[in-house]
Amino acid sequence: MLILLFSFLLFTEARAAILKVGLHDSFHTIQAAIEHSNTGDTIIVESGIYYEHNLVINKSLTLLGKNQPILDGEHKFEIVSIKANRVLFDGFKLRHSGIATMTDPAGIKIYNVRNVTISNNVLDDTFFGIYTQNGKCCTIKNNSLKASGKEEQEIGNGIHCWKCDSMQITGNSISGHRDGIYFEFVTNSLISKNNSFGNLRYGLHFMFSNNDSYISNIFKNNGAGVAVMFTKGVKMINNTFEQNWGDASYGLLLKEISDSYILNNKFTENTTGIYMEGASRCHMQKNEFKNNGWAIKIQASCMDVTVTQNNFFGNTFDVGTNGTLVLNSFNSNYWDKYQGYDLNKDKTGDVPYRPISMFSMIIEKNPPAMILFRSIMVSLLDKTEKLIPTLTPENLKDETPLMKPLSL
């Protein structure tokens, strides 16, 4: 039986062919090469411009672009539709897909298949960039996606995954889309080493997507930052959230999430570093909050959130909240505004630090009061509040503030 199986595999491999597409090759269109191919074949496409009117890949094939051939959707068509397992699509430039809010055409769309790899492609001016629908074990890596949408309804997401499992999204550059990366009902997946910047809404948008990780990504200058909603078991490690400015912007929004970890991230120059609402059993450790409006806004609906061993530098407000009941803990963080002392030289302050200022509580209830910021009256109010707390939550304090910043 083993001999027969080995013979079959050798025969299958021997049958695999290489088909070439180009002006001076056997095939002049990619679709014709696909129609004449067999499972396991490789199609090499020479440089040039191809108007395929929606290229459908319905066999397990390898398609390789040589010198970046261009597939043009003429603003009318979905450019590439993948409807077979085990497809590799590498080295192409795709431009000018159609636009349709009902069918969501994409530069590349993966339909209900698994083990597809999309790598080293350039997508320019596509409605959706790379869209995966009910995919499993697919890899999207080292692609460049650029769009120039002006309004959210005019453009789709850069990398969009719906109802997927075990996806790997790594090393991509995404800009100018509605959301850079979008996950909905996606589980056990990894987002790593991507650069998502200048998108109209979110650099990354998670919804109903459990047990995923995003690691070593850069989210910069997006409309509202990054949003993780209605999700559990998320690991957020070594990411950079930077320059997400606006009235309703933040580096990271956590809404109704639980049992998640936020470790070794940098939050720099955001309106709000992290905004938390309805979060529970989340652990935040060894993050850096620098030059944000608010470093953290943690609403009264949050509970069992642990904030420990983080650095806070140059933030206008370190922590904000909208209630007086405190069900979360702050311990062993470095606060650059801390003015305490360390008589026993154990590297922790001898008096607690209260990261919420009275003025931040006033602004929470009356935003126009921000016009008084940096006035002498505000300074007096805050100093008085630290001595005799009345408006700020009594239990929201760091009992063991660090005297020196952590080396992260």
The answer as to whether 374 is a domain residue is no
Residue 390: its pLDDT value, please?
Answer: 57
Residue-level pLDDT, tens digit, the chain, 408 residues = 434 334 433 444 446 899 999 988 889 999 999 999 999 999 999 999 999 999 999 999 999 999 999 999 999 999 999 999 999 999 999 999 999 888 899 999 999 999 999 999 999 999 999 999 999 999 999 999 999 888 887 899 999 999 999 999 999 999 999 999 999 999 999 999 999 999 999 999 999 999 999 999 999 999 999 999 999 999 999 999 999 987 778 999 999 999 999 999 999 999 999 999 999 999 999 999 999 999 999 998 999 999 999 999 999 889 988 877 778 999 999 999 998 888 888 889 989 988 887 666 666 666 665 655 555 655 666 665 565 555 566 778 899 999 999 987
125 plus 183 within the same structural domain: yes
Sign of the CA dihedral with 60 first, then 65, 68, and 70 last:
negative
DSSP β-bridge partners for residue 384: none
The answer as to whether 323 is a domain residue is yes
179 plus 244 within the same structural domain: no
177 plus 290 within the same structural domain: no
Residue 387: its pLDDT value, please?
Answer: 55
178 plus 32 within the same structural domain: yes
CA distance 254 to 297: 10
The answer as to whether 384 is a domain residue is no
Residue 379: its pLDDT value, please?
Answer: 62
The answer as to whether 106 is a domain residue is yes
HSE, side-chain direction, 13 A CA sphere, residue 157:
20
48 plus 196 within the same structural domain: yes
Residue 18: its pLDDT value, please?
Answer: 94
Exposure string (b/e) for 357-383, b if CB count within 10 Å is 16 or more?
bbbbbbbbeeeeeeeeeeeeebeebbe
Residue 324: its pLDDT value, please?
Answer: 73
The answer as to whether 284 is a domain residue is yes
The answer as to whether 9 is a domain residue is no
177 plus 47 within the same structural domain: yes
The pTM assigned to this predicted structure is: 0.89
250 plus 204 within the same structural domain: no
CA distance 319 to 325: 14
DSSP β-bridge partners for residue 333: none
CA distance 59 to 48: 24
**Domain stop point among 190, 223, 256:** 223
49 plus 132 within the same structural domain: yes
The answer as to whether 311 is a domain residue is yes
**Domain stop point among 161, 189, 223:** 223
255 plus 212 within the same structural domain: no
328 plus 185 within the same structural domain: no
Residue 231: its pLDDT value, please?
Answer: 96
Domain of residue 215 covers 16-223
Residues 300, 280: contact at Cβ < 8 Å?
A: no
**Domain stop point among 202, 223, 244:** 223
217 plus 260 within the same structural domain: no
Residues 244, 252: contact at Cβ < 8 Å?
A: no
- For the domain that residue 120 is a member of, what is the CATH number? 2.160.20.10
User: What's the Cα-to-Cα distance from 283 to each of 206, 235, 256, 258, 264, rounded to whole Å?
Assistant: 18, 10, 14, 10, 11
Domain count, the chain: 2
- Residue 98 — φ and ψ, nearest 5°? -70, 170
Q: Closest by alpha carbon to 145, among 66, 203, 64?
A: 203
290 plus 256 within the same structural domain: yes
Query: HEC string of the chain?
Result: CHHHHHHHHHHHHHHCCEEEECCCCCECCHHHHHHCCCCCCEEEECCCEECCCCEEECCCCEEEECCCCEEECCCCCCCEEECCCCCEEECCEEECCCCCCCCCCEEEEEECCECCEEECCEEECCCEEEEEECCECCEEECCEEECCCCCHHHCCCCEEEEEEECCEEECCEEECCCCCEEEEEEECCEEECCEEECCCCEEEEEECCCCCEEECCEEECCCCEEEEEEEECCEEECCEEECCCCCCCCCEEEEEEEEEEEECCEEECCCEEEEEECCEEEEEECCEEECCCEEEEECCCCECCEEECCEEECCCEEEECCCCCCCCEEECCEECCCCCCCCCCCCECCCCECCCCHHHHHHHHCHHHHHHCCCHHHHHHHHHHHHCCCCCCCCCCECCCECCCCCC
The answer as to whether 261 is a domain residue is yes
- Which position has the token pair 């790899």? 117
